[in-house]
Amino acid sequence: MERPAYLDEYEKLVIRMNTPKVVIDNAVCPLATLVKVDSASRKHGVLLEAIHVLTDLNLSVKKAYISSDGRWFMDVFHVTDQFGNKLTDDSVISYLEQSLDTGNPEINRSHRCEGLTALELTGTDRPGLLSEVFAVLADLQCDVVEATVWTHDGRVACILFLKDQLSGSPLDDAQRIHRIESRLRHVLKGDHGVRSGKTAVTSMAVAHPDSRLHQLMLADRDYDRCPSAPASSTLVSVQNWDERGYSVVNVQCRDRPKLLFDIVWTLTDMQYVVFHGTIDTDGDSAHQEFYIRHKNGSPIDSEAERHRVIQCLQAAIERRASEGTRLELCIEDRPGLLSDVTRTFRENGLLVTRAEASTKGDMASDVFYVTDAAGQAADPKAIEAVRLRIGFDHLKVKEEQRPRFCRKESTDREASLGGVGTGLFYLGSLVRRNLYNLGLIKSCS
């Protein structure tokens, strides 16, 4: 039986209504590019996917407004590039439009390290650990093509992408993989850590290493702060708005790249849905507020759950915090390079708190954050000794640029709505204020 034509048209209408509309505008704000996504429906994780796209392009979110009532949603991001400038590259803008428009065929975002062997490590952090890990891999003739290392509260997690040093092929020999895991497991045991180290070699593609690192550290319970650890400087509060059935999460901390991704990833992974939110920055300070419910529609319903949300958000924010001096290495790649570099750090009393290493062609491009062995600021003499050993032209001290994002003077009403812990105001005010900031209405009163 032939389908009535009106049913086909109806289905097309439903598809159009559920397909996000993407607008990228450089005229609205003089200091940032406006990226707006709206649709008639929101599936769980769609907000995170949008932020994922911005993160992959190293864009900084200076302001954002998130609004959803379960039937429609509108997300607006004020973004700049990593240098604090508006987006002017047509290829970047085109990629944004295609990636955010999920009604189009899915864009291939597979990690560029496909075809390599992924190695995941977690364990107790200690001085020289990274040097020992890379030394083992060099000894076993494993070439590290890319590496990402995070440390937090005495724990370490890293994802390494490897290939055979001679053939350039993935590591697929079971006995060799067992030997690699066994030796690294011995290294990760350390002295007498409370939690044992873990290694895992996988042939599965890692779509987004940052997400996987969050998962590894969360599974390692790095949010269980050591008794001797200093109190967190990240302010997180969670309150319930019983009248509207929301839990209101407020975060105040130092602004940094990918902060919004880390927060929304954590809420999404913990099975919460963000219905409304505001993100604002002022210089180095960030203030983010979210109205959330569990996937089953309920707010946070116990003190234990509230405490865990606070702990997990603080840990997620601190994992990527840039502690220490930033060192950038650009040098011709060679076997054992990372082993030699990290050994030089260790011999000069430097501890690596975070690292990102990659190769492109014959060149290695690596970033290290280093402190002294006690976690304090590194001695400039030690850094100069390392640079002398590796080469002043190859290893440079990089001061991170934190562009200031100037905003308009807030009215008394806006200031009263934006403070930490003041989230329990009438939701209509938030929505109207967001629409006003978007330029879609003339007044928010």
Per-residue model confidence as pLDDT tens digits over 146-186: 999 999 988 999 999 999 999 989 998 999 999 999 999 99
Q: In this structure, what token pair is assigned to residue 144?
A: 């590290």
Specify the 3-state DSSP secondary structure of 19: coil
Q: What is the pLDDT of residue 5?
A: 58
Conformation bin of residue 88: beta by default, left when phi > 0, alpha when psi is -120 to 50 = alpha
> What is 107-132 written as a DSSP string?
P----TTTTSEEEEEEEE--TTHHHH
Helices (H), 69-122: 90-100
> How far is it, in rounded angstroms, from Cα 397 to Cα 328?
6
pLDDT at 414 over 90: no
Q: Are 420 and 253 in contact (CB under 8 A)?
A: no
pLDDT tens-place string over residues 251-272: 999 999 999 999 999 999 999 9
Percent of the chain with pLDDT over 90: 60
Of 6-10, 49-53, 73-77, 289-293, which gets the smallest average pLDDT?
Answer: 6-10
Lowest mean pLDDT segment, chosen from 196-210, 310-324, 377-391, 431-445 = 431-445
Q: Which residues contact 386 (CB under 8 A, 6 or more apart)?
A: 327, 344, 345, 348, 350, 395
Other CB atoms within 10 A of residue 146 CB: 21
Q: What predicted TM-score, i.e. pTM, was given to this entire model? A: 0.83
Which one-letter amino acid corresponds to residue 192? H
**Average pLDDT score over residue span 360-365:** 94
Task: Say if residues 393 and 359 touch (Cβ distance below 8 Å).
Answer: no
Residue 226: pLDDT band (50, 70, 90) is low
The DSSP H or E segment spanning 292 is: strand 285-294
